[in-house]
Structure 1
Amino acid sequence: MVSRMFRIETGDDKDRRDLLRRRLLETNTAASPVLRALRGTPAERQRPLHLWVMDEADELAGGLVGHTWTTWLHVTYLWVDGRHRGTGLGSRLLAEAERAATERGCDAARLETWDFQAPDFYRGHGYRETGRTEGIPGGHQDVHFHKVLAG
Structure 2
Amino acid sequence: MFRLETEVDKARRDLLRTRLRETNTAASPVLRALLGTPDERDIPLHVWAVNDRTDDLAGGLVGYTWATWLHVTYLWVDERHRGVGLGAGLLRQAERIASDKRGCRASRLETWDFQAPRFYEKQGYEVACVVPDYPPGITEYLLMKRLG
Q: Shared topology, TM-score over 0.5?
A: yes
**How far off its partner does 1:21 sit?**
3.0
Matched to 2:70, the amino acid is L
Match of 1:132 in 2: 130
Normalised by the size of structure 2, how large is the TM-score?
0.87
| 1:146 maps to which of 125, 129, 144 | 144
Whether contact under 8 Å (1:29, 1:42) holds in the other structure is no
**3-state SS of 1:131 partner:** strand
* Aligned sequence identity (%): 60
Structure 1: 4+ residue segments shifted above 6 A: none
Confirm or deny that 1:34 pairs with 2:30. yes
Confirm or deny that 1:46 pairs with 2:46. no
| 1:96 maps to which of 93, 96, 102 | 93
Q: Provide the rounded CA distance (Å) in 1 between the counterparts of 2:12 and 2:40.
A: 18
| 1:110 maps to which of 108, 111, 114 | 108
**How far off its partner does 1:42 sit?**
4.1
Listed as ranges, the gaps of 5+ residues in structure 1 are none
Whether contact under 8 Å (1:22, 1:42) holds in the other structure is no
Q: Provide the rounded CA distance (Å) in 2 between the counterparts of 1:85 and 1:107.
A: 28
- Relative distance call for 1:53 and 1:132 in structure 2 (3 A) is same
Matched to 2:33, the amino acid is A
**3-state SS of 1:140 partner:** coil
**How far off its partner does 1:66 sit?**
1.0
Listed as ranges, the gaps of 5+ residues in structure 2 are none
Matched to 1:108, the amino acid is A
Greater Cα shift, 52-61 or 124-133: 52-61
What's the Cα RMSD here?
1.9
Confirm or deny that 1:69 pairs with 2:52. no
1:22-57, CA deviations, whole angstroms, 9 ceiling, x for partnerless residues? Answer: 333222211211111236214523211122222232
1:97-147, CA deviations, whole angstroms, 9 ceiling, x for partnerless residues? Answer: 111111211101111100111011110111011111111235110011011
**How far off its partner does 1:8 sit?**
1.5
Normalised by the size of structure 1, how large is the TM-score?
0.86
Whether contact under 8 Å (2:113, 2:140) holds in the other structure is yes
